[in-house]
C-alpha cells in the first residue's frame, strides 16, 4: 500500500468528519478529495469486496434498499450508498467509510446504486459479482441526451464487468437488447400482467424496434414502453422470464401483494410499498437474491419489511395529518406516481416542487410529457395543488393547462410558508419534488417534524 493511498484515505475521513461537524452529509466531497490524491483508489479498495451494482433510470434506490435488507437477513455484512450519492465520488466515499486507514475492508459486500453514466468506470474498478439493470427511460436530456446514449453507458459498464451475472428487465425492450451485446449470464425478470386498471396515457420512450425500427406491437402494457412487446418486422420480442409477477392480488396506500413465478414455483409476495413501479423494484431484487442463492422465504421477508429510501414514498407526521414524499425526475416516473395517486379513494392535497439545478436536469420541458390532466380529472378528490421551487411558475403554467382550477392552485415562494400551509390542514398531503427540491424541503421538514438524515 502506497503513501499516496494512505494519504487519500486519511484526507477523506478527516474531510467527512469536518463536514459532519458542520451539519453537512459529507457523502460526495470526501470521495472527491481522495480521488484528487489517488485517482485509482476505488479499484484498490474494492479488491476484497463483493459488489452488487444496481443501475438504470428509475428504481435504483428502492431496489438497493430491498437488496441490502436481504443481505442483512442472510447474515452477510454489507454497506451501501444509502444517501443516493451514486457517482464515482460518492461510491469511493462509501468504500473509504468501510475501510481502515490501511485500506482493509470492514464489511465484505457492497450494495451500490450507480448512475448510468458513472457505471462505466465504477463497474470497471469494482468488478461486480452481479449487475441489476432496472429499466431504461428518457431522463435529464441536458445530461444524458437520447435514451440510446443512456443505454450505451450501461452496456459499456456491463462490458467492463466480465465476471458479473446480469439481471435484466424482460419488459423493457431497451434493457433486453443489452443481452445481444454482452457475454454475461443473464437472468430475466418481469411482470406478466397489466399493473393498472386505468393507466395514464404516456409518451413511449421506445416505440420502435431498436434493431429494425419497425413499430412494436404489444399484448399488454404495464407502463411507459414496458410490457409484452413484439416486433413484427424482425421478430425481436420479450424473452422468457425466470422470475415473473403473474398476478396483482391487492394494493393499497401502504403495500402491494402479488403472485410470483420463480423458476416454476408459485409464491405470494407482499411488497412494503405501494405503486406499480415498486413491483418491478421488488422483482429485480428477488432476481438478485436468486443469483446470490438466498433462501426464498428470507428474500420475501426482506421485500415485505425493508425501510424505504429517503424521498421514495417516505412519510412524515405533520401533527394533524401525514405527508408522503415521492421523488419525481422524468416523465415515466412521474406518470407512475400519478397512476398511484389518482387511484387513491381519499381526498388529498398535492404539492409539486420543481427545480432545475444540474442534479434535477436543467431542461424542465419534460413536465409537458407528464399527464397532469389526471389530477384535474380527480374532481372533488383534489383539494388543492401547492407549487414551489425554482421553476414553480413553469409548473403552475403546466398545471393550469392541465385543467387545474385557479382557485385550487397556489404558488409558494419559499419552503417555510409551504410547510406552514401543510401543517395547518387535516387532509393527507402528497409531495412530488425533483431531486434538489426534495433535499431542501426534506431537511426543513425533518427539522420541523422529526426524521432521519438523508444519509442514514
Domain limits, the chain: 50-85+109-305, 312-449
Domain boundaries 312-449, corresponding CATH code? 3.90.190.20
Please tell me the chain's helix, strand, coil percentages from 3-state DSSP, rounded to the nearest 5: 40, 20, 40
Neighbour count for residue 401 (Cβ, 10 Å) = 12
Look at residue 154 and give its three-state secondary structure.
helix
Q: Are 202 and 335 in contact (CB under 8 A)?
A: yes
Residue 284's contacts (CB-CB under 8 Å, 6 or more residues apart) are: 54, 59, 63, 132, 134, 167, 169, 189
Which three cell numbers mark 269?
A: 409476495
In CATH terms, are 50-85+109-305 and 312-449 the same topology? no
Domain boundaries 50-85+109-305, corresponding CATH code? 3.40.1190.10
The C-alpha atoms of residue 331 and residue 30 are separated, in whole angstroms, by 33
From first to last of its 456 residues, the chain has per-residue pLDDT tens of 688 899 999 999 999 888 888 777 778 899 999 999 999 999 999 999 999 999 999 999 999 999 999 999 999 999 999 888 899 999 999 999 999 999 999 999 999 999 999 999 999 999 999 999 999 988 654 444 578 889 999 999 999 999 999 999 999 999 999 999 999 999 999 999 998 876 656 667 788 999 999 999 999 999 889 999 999 999 999 999 999 999 999 887 778 999 999 999 999 999 988 888 899 999 999 999 999 999 999 999 999 988 776 667 788 888 888 888 898 888 888 888 888 777 777 788 999 999 999 888 888 999 998 999 988 888 888 899 999 999 999 999 999 999 999 999 999 999 999 999 998 888 889 899 998 999 899 888 888 777 665 545
Question: Nearest to residue 188, comparing CAs of 208, 168, 207?
Answer: 168
pLDDT value of residue 447: 82
pLDDT value of residue 200: 56
> Rounded to two decimals, what is the model's pTM?
0.87
pLDDT value of residue 380: 86
Q: Are 127 and 46 in contact (CB under 8 A)?
A: yes
pLDDT value of residue 142: 45
Phi, psi of 226 (to 5 degrees): -85, 145
Q: Are 192 and 154 in contact (CB under 8 A)?
A: no
Look at residue 79 and give its three-state secondary structure.
strand
Q: Are 206 and 173 in contact (CB under 8 A)?
A: yes
What spatial distance separates the first Cα and last Cα of the chain, rounded to whole Å? 31
The C-alpha atoms of residue 248 and residue 296 are separated, in whole angstroms, by 19
pLDDT value of residue 144: 45
Amino acid at each position: 500500500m502506497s503513501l499516496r493511498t494512505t494519504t487519500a484515505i486519511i484526507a477523506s475521513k478527516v474531510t467527512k468528519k469536518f463536514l459532519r461537524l458542520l451539519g453537512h452529509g459529507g457523502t460526495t466531497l470526501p470521495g472527491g478529495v481522495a480521488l484528487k490524491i489517488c485517482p485509482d483508489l476505488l479499484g484498490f479498495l474494492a479488491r476484497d469486496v463483493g459488489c452488487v451494482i444496481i443501475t438504470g433510470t428509475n428504481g435504483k434506490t428502492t431496489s438497493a434498499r430491498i437488496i441490502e435488507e436481504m443481505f442483512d437477513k442472510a447474515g452477510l455484512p454489507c454497506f451501501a450508498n444509502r444517501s443516493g450519492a451514486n457517482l464515482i465520488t460518492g461510491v469511493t466515499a462509501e468504500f473509504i467509510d468501510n475501510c481502515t486507514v490501511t485500506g482493509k475492508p470492514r464489511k465484505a459486500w457492497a450494495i451500490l446504486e450507480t448512475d448510468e453514466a458513472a457505471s462505466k468506470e465504477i463497474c470497471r474498478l469494482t468488478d461486480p459479482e452481479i449487475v441489476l439493470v432496472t429499466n431504461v427511460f428518457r431522463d435529464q436530456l441536458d445530461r444524458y441526451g437520447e435514451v440510446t446514449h443512456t443505454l450505451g453507458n450501461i452496456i459499456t459498464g456491463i462490458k467492463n464487468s466480465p465476471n458479473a451475472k446480469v439481471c435484466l428487465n424482460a419488459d423493457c425492450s431497451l434493457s433486453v437488447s443489452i443481452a445481444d451485446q454482452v457475454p454475461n449470464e443473464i437472468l430475466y425478470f418481469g411482470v406478466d400482467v397489466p399493473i393498472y386498471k386505468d393507466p395514464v396515457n404516456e409518451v413511449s420512450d421506445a416505440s420502435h424496434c431498436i434493431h429494425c425500427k419497425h413499430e412494436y406491437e404489444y399484448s399488454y402494457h404495464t407502463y411507459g414502453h414496458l410490457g409484452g412487446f413484439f416486433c413484427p418486422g424482425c421478430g425481436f420480442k420479450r424473452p422468457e422470464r425466470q422470475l415473473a409477477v403473474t398476478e396483482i392480488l391487492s394494493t393499497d396506500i401502504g403495500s402491494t401483494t402479488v403472485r410470483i413465478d420463480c423458476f416454476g414455483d408459485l409464491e405470494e409476495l407482499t411488497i412494503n410499498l405501494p405503486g406499480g413501479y415498486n413491483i418491478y423494484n421488488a422483482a429485480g431484487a428477488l432476481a438478485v437474491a436468486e443469483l446470490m442463492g438466498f433462501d426464498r422465504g428470507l428474500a420475501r421477508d426482506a421485500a415485505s419489511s425493508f425501510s424505504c429510501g429517503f424521498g421514495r414514498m417516505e412519510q412524515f407526521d405533520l401533527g394533524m395529518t401525514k405527508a408522503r414524499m415521492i421523488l419525481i425526475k422524468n416523465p415515466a416516473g412521474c406518470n407512475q406516481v400519478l397512476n398511484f395517486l389518482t387511484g387513491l379513494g381519499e381526498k388529498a392535497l398535492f404539492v409539486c416542487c420543481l427545480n432545475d439545478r444540474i442534479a434535477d436536469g436543467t431542461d424542465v420541458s419534460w413536465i409537458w410529457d407528464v399527464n397532469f390532466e389526471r389530477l384535474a380529472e380527480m374532481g372533488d378528490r383534489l383539494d388543492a395543488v401547492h407549487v414551489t421551487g425554482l421553476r414553480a411558475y413553469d409548473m403552475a403554467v403546466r398545471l393550469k393547462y392541465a385543467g387545474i382550477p385557479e382557485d385550487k392552485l397556489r404558488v409558494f415562494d419559499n419552503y417555510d410558508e409551504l410547510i406552514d400551509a401543510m401543517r395547518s390542514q387535516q387532509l393527507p398531503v402528497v409531495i412530488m419534488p425533483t431531486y434538489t427540491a426534495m433535499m431542501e424541503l426534506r431537511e426543513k421538514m425533518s427539522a420541523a417534524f422529526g426524521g432521519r438524515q438523508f444519509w442514514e
